[in-house]
Amino acid sequence: MGHALKQKPGNRWNNVYVHLLLWGVIFILPYFFMDPEQVFTWRPFLRSIPDMLGFMLVFYLNYFFLIDKFLYKGKTREFILYNILLIVAVAFMMHYGKELLGYLMPHMRPRGRGRRNHFFPWLFIIYNFTSLFLMVGLSVALRMTVRWFEVENERKELAKAKSEAELQNLKNQINPHFLLNTLNNIYALIEFNPPKAQQAVADLSKMLRHLLYDNNQTYVPLRQEAEFMQNYIELMRIRLADNVKLTTNFSYSQTGNRLISPLIFISLIENAFKHGVSGDKPSFIDISLREHPDGKVEFVCRNSYFPKSDDDKSGSGIGLELVKKRLELLYPDSYLLHTTIEDDVYSTVLVIDTKKQQDDTELLDRG
């Protein structure tokens, strides 16, 4: 019963439906074996009431007490012993309860029995024993099934809590990483163009608002995250030299409710600016984001590739690994991340299928 108290209201109602269905089948099943030409009468139904009450007594004494008290604690012998005693007592109660019903309501007595009522009812006792043992088996089977679902739900809740804790830890790593790179860019900008540096600080304040408030949510609107990405790109554009060609193509619904995890793409954009820009050679960065009608969000980034030396530790090299970990936590089996280096061009393609996550989020909101 301790586990039942932990169940959610929806699960408790599901259990009620299962019990109603079970007893509905037990009550109705005997009538499927009757002669089709035989007319239903209340006499056999009322005479079966002692049997059904005995079945329910054995079933629920096991379901709510004996299974938890003995079987779950490994006391199998005690469980069997108490059930044998219970079944013996209930079997006699069922038989003599039926006899008592016949005496109290003579019109309920079965026709044609005559003197057989005075003989010890071995046949009926054996029948009751068999039926009651079946009730014990049904009770154990149903209780074990319910327990399995409860344990499985608890396991999922623990896994979810662990994933959320890991995700929060990853976010805590992303924020310092992101801010460190941005502040380094503004610091470099101050040296040769103070007015642009002031504008960069203003843009940074907008992004910090997104980081401080929106980043605490598991999912944010795609349009909101796209605006954050565009602000960041414009902040980075300020310090680019003339030899760098930067192009962007963002295609998403301005009014849609598509959700995405915050800061999933920003580390990939950071890598493009880190490895795709040269101080004296022609360079390019091409970034695109597209929202598809089927719920997929496609991010593609291509840039010229100028790998940093081992002495350059800016960014700490953790961006891409954090993206992979977050994708595994938030979109398991629902994303494709592919990176290639060919002809000094670094390409990153990330496709996220947000439909399942969107459906789950809407379902939780309605619940």
pLDDT of residue 28: 67
- Domains of the chain, residue spans: 4-154, 193-366
Higher pLDDT, residue 325 or 338: 338
3-class secondary-structure state, position 126: helix
| Residues 297/290, Cβ–Cβ less than 8 Å | yes
Q: Which of 178-182, 246-250, 253-257 has the highest mean pLDDT?
A: 246-250
- Minimum mean pLDDT range among 92-101, 137-146, 250-259: 92-101
| Residues 353/295, Cβ–Cβ less than 8 Å | yes
Higher pLDDT, residue 296 or 110: 296
Using pLDDT thresholds of 50, 70 and 90, give the confidence band for residue 38. low
Q: Which of 41-45, 68-72, 147-151, 251-255 has the highest mean pLDDT?
A: 251-255
- Cα(37)–Cα(352) distance, rounded to whole angstroms? 63
- Cα(323)–Cα(317) distance, rounded to whole angstroms? 12
**CATH number for the domain formed by residue range(s) 193-366:** 3.30.565.10
- Cα(247)–Cα(237) distance, rounded to whole angstroms? 10
Using pLDDT thresholds of 50, 70 and 90, give the confidence band for residue 321. confident
pLDDT digits (tens, 9 = 90+) for 101-145: 666 655 555 554 444 444 445 666 677 788 888 888 888 888 888
pLDDT of residue 146: 83
